[in-house]
Amino acid sequence: MSAEAFVTIARVMKTQGRRGEVAVEMFSDFPDRFEDRRRVYALDEKDQRRELLIEDFWPHKSYMVLKFAGIDSISDAETLKRCEIQVPVSERTPLEEGAWYVSDLVGCTVTDNGSEIGVVADVEFGAGEAPLLIIRQGNREHMVPLASEYATRIDTAARKIELMLPEGMLEIDAPLSASEKKQAKD
């Protein structure tokens, strides 16, 4: 296998059933792609990757159940527990303009008006209309909405995100200074 880059789309959480099925936690917004994508790769905890072919899939509770060709028993399925299910980066679903994969945003250096804020450590969804960038620099952490009003340039290939934030936004969730703590006690 070449040195092609892979991206994790799911993680095997447990066996499911008696015929080799596994329940996976999905990390992809495109589970319907299993209709077209039957070839995936399992990366185990020893960084060994093997190709698998999906025979069938269906949702079950909070999981997606996958049935792979050649995995036909509970003991076969046990070998997949804790494996990451991956696809080559080149086979990811194309996104519409103005959308990015979380894996492409994590690790990007973020600047505000030219000054470095830190590096994207994670992206959170559900806190509002725009996803929140979790930006870390040393012990500091900032939560900044990835809103079109603030983003002036996003270049995932160069690993850079340029923002123009409203004045004071980074101080909203900043820890209190010693003088502010003293003033709050008074």
Q: How many beta carbons lie within 10 A of that of residue 83, not counting itself?
A: 22
Q: Domains of the chain by range and CATH?
A: 6-91 (2.40.30.60), 102-168 (2.30.30.240)
Q: What is the DSSP letter of 38?
A: -
Mean pLDDT score, 19-47: 92
pLDDT in tens, 50-77: 999 999 999 999 999 999 999 999 999 9
Please tell me the predicted confidence (pLDDT) of residue 1.
41
Supply 23's token pair. 């329940």
pLDDT in tens, 134-181: 999 998 999 999 999 999 999 999 999 999 999 888 887 655 566 666
What is the average pLDDT score of the chain? 90
Mean pLDDT score, 39-49: 96
User: Given strand 115-124, what is the order of strands in its sheet?
Assistant: 140-145, 132-137, 115-124, 109-112, 160-163, 151-155
Please tell me the predicted confidence (pLDDT) of residue 178.
65
CA 181 from chain centre, in angstroms, equals: 36
